[in-house]
Amino acid sequence: MEFEIFPDTEFFCQAVNFPDISVPFTEVPTRFRSFPIIGGGGVSYGDLQATFIIDEDMHNYAEIFNWIRNNGQSENTAPLNLSRAQLTIFTSNFNANLVADFQYLFPYSLSQIQFDATIGEESVVTAQASFKYAQMSFRDKDFKVYDPN
């Protein structure tokens, strides 16, 4: 996963909760049954959540930590630094297949880290970050807007 606001940082995602999408609707009652209709108001997206491996210098964790701390202060009057992000989705043969583009994205939550000396050498330390964003779209491997038809 790549973030525009963290250009020097690589995020090796281990798991991603791909967000949901929904539109508001209204039930219109009739004598026989209710009919759902789209009520307008636009599309709502769920949160993007990613579990990533923390690098040995904790650079990727610190990037998100510092962004949340610096932008979450009430005395901070600087404009919010929103980002674009790209999540590459691979095939079962590890070839790039689709790219999910997220616009106007920002982190709002970063999990705790558990350091455990009783775990073997081969284990990795991970963290989970949650993001809000305004828009999402898909592109194919040739960077064209994805249309499954």
Name the residue with higher pLDDT: 149 or 109. Answer: 109
Residue 80 has pLDDT above 80, yes or no: no
Tens of pLDDT, residues 83-101: 899 888 888 898 888 899 9
Please state, as a whole number, how many other Cβ atoms lie within 10 Å of the Cβ of residue 133.
Answer: 20
Produce one character per residue of 41-71: b if its CB has 16 or more CB atoms within 10 Å, e if not: eeeeeeebbbbbbbbeeeebbebbeebbeeb
Whether 76 has a pLDDT exceeding 70, the answer reads: no
Query: What pLDDT digit, counting tens, does each position of 46-72 carry?
Result: 999 999 989 888 998 999 999 998 888
Percent of the residues in the chain that have a pLDDT greater than 90, as a whole number: 26
Give the pLDDT score at 74: 65
Quickly count: other Cβ atoms within 10 Å of residue 129's Cβ: 25
Residues 145/137, Cβ–Cβ less than 8 Å: yes
CA angle 19, 61, 6 (to 5 degrees): 75
Q: Which two tokens stand for residue 80?
A: 């919010």
